[in-house]
Amino acid sequence: MVAVAAIAAIFLGRYLLRTTQTVTGQTTGQTQVVRANLKPAGMNTASSIAKKEYEIAGDGSTPIPAKFQLPGVARVRTAANFKEWIAQFPASEQEKIVAFNKRNFQVYNVNSVKQVAWMALYGYPMPEDIIAAQKFSNTDLREMAKSGNEKAGYLLRERNIEETAEKLSAFHAKEGTAGQNFWEQDPDGPRLAQENSADQHFLLNAWGSPFVGYLRAREEALIDDDPVFAQAKVIGGLLLANSLGDSRAESFADDYYVGIDPTRMAILYGATSVSSGPPPPWLRNCGYSDIAPIP
């Protein structure tokens, strides 16, 4: 187990290093230019919404910051737990909300109204967003994201990831071949590869939300030819969310790897060891240190 934990630690270290080099642009002049272009003119940074007190109105609703608003969704409901939260929505919509929660590591599992308000403040896709987004095409979301709406970018990436995961599963079942072959051999592979590449940068624009950690956990493990590496990357994404202020993500990682499988236990141990301590300098440089921890 110790050996596997060490391997997991190395893998997670490589994952975080690659993320650092991509996001901060501190390694070469070329990536510095990329970083400079990641924040379109007029786009708010994390600092611009940092330290804001979340507001909860008498009706239990809380506002969404302008940079995270989908058309028609300026305020959202709150609740003390997921059961009470989802009960406020029509039965016809609850299935979609539950599915989103399951795909994203139980991200809607909360234990206070304040936690829901915190999620709304820091750009998490809320149940109202899931419902509202149904009327928007990928092109609509892409155009909103290009205009500075980070949440539209998150929802677009979530769609990309989900469609790719479904196509990969069907490809595996039919062909029984390694996932890497999917991009060349599946009829939808080239299109999905192009869309994933084109839209992936919306996560690099996302300076204001720990939700990017959940999306990274999902997208990094789409191709799991190396199970240990894939699982290390999943937990790396969740611990990234934890580092950005969402302390629930560490327990979600525990739940994801629960069981007696010694390999998974070792991955969790190694990844947690790598991620312990204060947030790394690149997170502070990006402005993430301004995000208040979840209450």
Quick check: is 33 in a domain?
A: yes
Least confident of 48-52, 136-140, 160-164, 253-257: 48-52
Alpha-carbon 235 to chain mean position: 12
CB atoms within 10 A of CB 200: 16
Torsion of CA 154, 156, 158, 164, to 10 degrees: -150
User: Using the 8-state DSSP alphabet, how is residue 62 labeled?
Assistant: E
Quick check: is 24 in a domain?
A: yes
Instruction: Look at residues 188, 198, 67 and name the one whose alpha carbon lies nearest to residue 138.
Output: 198
Instruction: Look at residues 248, 237, 250 and name the one whose alpha carbon lies nearest to residue 276.
Output: 250
Quick check: is 141 in a domain?
A: yes
Question: What is the extent of the structural domain holding 234?
Answer: 2-48+125-290
- Rg of the chain over CA atoms, in angstroms? 19
Quick check: is 236 in a domain?
A: yes
User: How many percent of the chain have pLDDT more than 70?
Assistant: 62
Q: How many domains does the chain have?
A: 1
Q: What is the pLDDT of residue 100?
A: 96
Torsion of CA 212, 213, 217, 219, to 10 degrees: 20
Quick check: is 81 in a domain?
A: no
40: left (phi over 0), alpha (psi -120 to 50) or beta: beta
Q: Judge contact between 143 and 87, C-beta under 8 A.
A: no
Quick check: is 7 in a domain?
A: yes
For 27-43, write each residue's pLDDT tens digit: 333 322 222 232 333 33
Q: Is residue 267 scored above 60 in pLDDT?
A: no
pTM assigned to the model? 0.75
Q: Is residue 119 scored above 80 in pLDDT?
A: yes
Per-residue pLDDT band for 277 (boundaries 50, 70, 90) equals very low
Q: Judge contact between 268 and 294, C-beta under 8 A.
A: no
Quick check: is 82 in a domain?
A: no
Quick check: is 20 in a domain?
A: yes
For 64-98, write each residue's pLDDT tens digit: 999 899 999 999 999 999 999 999 999 999 999 99
Q: What is the pLDDT of residue 159?
A: 92
